[in-house]
Amino acid sequence: MGQAFETWGNPSSSHAHGRQANEIIEKIRRLIAQVTGVSPLEIVFTSGGSEANTLALMGSFFLKKPGLRLLTTTVEHSSVRDTASLLESQGVSVDYLQVKRSGVFDLDAFERQVTEFRPTLVSVMAANNETGVLFPLKEISRICREKGITLHTDAVQAFGKISPEEWNFCDLISITAHKIFGPKGVGALIVRRGTPLVATHYGGAQEVKRRGGTENVLGILGFGGAASELPTREEIENIRVLRDSFEKGLLETLSGVGLNGADVTRIPNTSSIRFEGISSEVLLGALDLEGISVSAGSACSSGSISPSHVLLAMGLNKQEAKECLRFSWGKTTTREDIDTVLRAVVKHVTRIRDRKRKA
């Protein structure tokens, strides 16, 4: 935290305090560039993943040459989805690609849609934030490159969980600090050299005129701290082993349990699981009261949970989608943690189902 006091100055100021703050930002810019395998100049700090996604899409729209045509999928984060529908309301042609029932990206359909719809911009996430399902970005990128289409990827969920080589070849890339145990409210859009983009925030020449406004120096400092402690290859493999044993344990112990995105390539730390007959809020609450934090769908501003559009797009009905919980693991997760969570889930699911049977 000592370094935090060095962030007091405005990085745009010429005086010593300003220079000190600027030095911190530039040091971390180099670090982020290094861990993502891009060049420091390509990093544009933002207030997080949502702003990065919005900037990628809106910043392409404001180019206005030769007229934006956006192709995206039905399972993107709401920051992409809502920006896409805003663009649609502004007269932009937008088309949506369906995923297969298992959540798998349909490459054939994508290729067809690219030929028929002729997009100028494709926005496809690297890994889904709810199911962890990975999309084949290399193939998608190859198709886009052949046709001269700009490719944006929302790599928020993939960053820190798979190698950057799996996604850093895209033209525009969104990442965020809080998905790698950094602070909330800071992230970056990676704008690869040669990719045109217009700023959506104005106020100064910061971030090489791609994002105006005084930088969140303290947030960026935290982003750097988290980026310097990304899990190693071995640690990631360990998370995968623990995650798999949790899923296996659950499926063996309980009936009426379904794994979303089973048999599909997923990032190693996410399990999206459906508990038949138990609404997600109920189980989420029961686990929370034991100090176990899990997620359900996407939380709206009131904290109320709507059926996940991702799970609906994967072919689950509303009822089924309201019975799913997401478990996320990290590099500090231990075998004991897995066992504790497993025992708690089995206990509550059994108790709730017993009660419903008697009622």
Partner 1 sequence: MSSLIPNFVPEKPSRIVVAMSGGVDSSVTAGWLKEQGHEVIGISLQLHDMAEKIENEFGTCCSLSDIMDARRVAEKLGIPFYVNNMEEEFRQAVVDDFIQEYLNGRTPNPCIRCNEKVKFRQLMDWALDLGADYLATGHYATVIPNQENKQMELFKGGDVDKDQSYFLFAMKQEDLARTLFPIGGFEKKVVRDLAVKYGLLVANKPDSQEICFVQAKSYKEFIEEEVPKELLKPGNIVDPEGRVLGQHTGLHQFTIGQRKGLGVFGKEPLFVLALRGKTNEVVVGPEQNLFRKSATVSTLNWINEPLTQARKVHAKIRYRAKESPVEVMPRPDGKLDVRFEIPQRAITPGQAMVFYEGEKVLGGGWIEDLSIQ
Subset of 315-354 contacting partner 1 (CB under 8 A) = 318, 351-352
Q: How far apart are CA 15 and CA 23, in angstroms?
A: 12
Size of the site for partner 1 (CB under 8 A): 21
Cβ 235 to partner 1, closest distance in Å? 32
Query: Cβ distance 159 to 36 under 8 Å?
Result: yes
| Site map 286..315 versus partner 1, x via CB under 8 A | x-xx----------xxxxxxx---------
Is the CB of 26 or the CB of 281 nearer to partner 1? 281
Is the CB of 191 or the CB of 321 nearer to partner 1? 321
The β-bridge partners of 176 are: 187
| Site map 146..185 versus partner 1, x via CB under 8 A | ----------------------------------------
Is the CB of 162 or the CB of 278 nearer to partner 1? 278
Q: What residue spans of the chain are helical by DSSP H?
A: 16-36, 49-61, 78-89, 107-117, 137-147, 206-209, 217-227, 233-253, 280-288, 309-313, 318-321, 335-358
Does residue 26 interact with partner 1 by CB under 8 A?
no
Cβ 352 to partner 1, closest distance in Å? 5
Q: How far apart are CA 225 and CA 243, in angstroms?
A: 26
Is the CB of 255 or the CB of 301 nearer to partner 1? 301
User: Which residues are catalytic, by number?
Assistant: 300
The β-bridge partners of 122 are: 71, 151
Q: How far apart are CA 330 and CA 334, in angstroms?
A: 9
CA of 70: how far to CAs of 42, 64, 323, 344, in Å?
A: 23, 13, 32, 45
Cβ 158 to partner 1, closest distance in Å? 29
Cβ 317 to partner 1, closest distance in Å? 12
Is the CB of 13 or the CB of 78 nearer to partner 1? 78
| Site map 254..293 versus partner 1, x via CB under 8 A | ------------------------xx-xx-xxx-xx----
Structure-block tokens of residue 64: 């206005």
Q: How far apart are CA 2 and CA 7, in angstroms?
A: 10
Burial class (CB in 10 A: 0-12, 13-18, 19+), 315: middle
The 3-state secondary structure of 111-147 reads HHHHHHHCCCEEECCCECCCCCEECCHHHHHHHHHHH
Backbone φ and ψ for 241, nearest 5 degrees, come out as -60, -45
Cβ 82 to partner 1, closest distance in Å? 13
- Interface residues with partner 1 (CB under 8 A)? 278-279, 281-282, 284-286, 288-289, 300-306, 318, 351-352, 355, 359
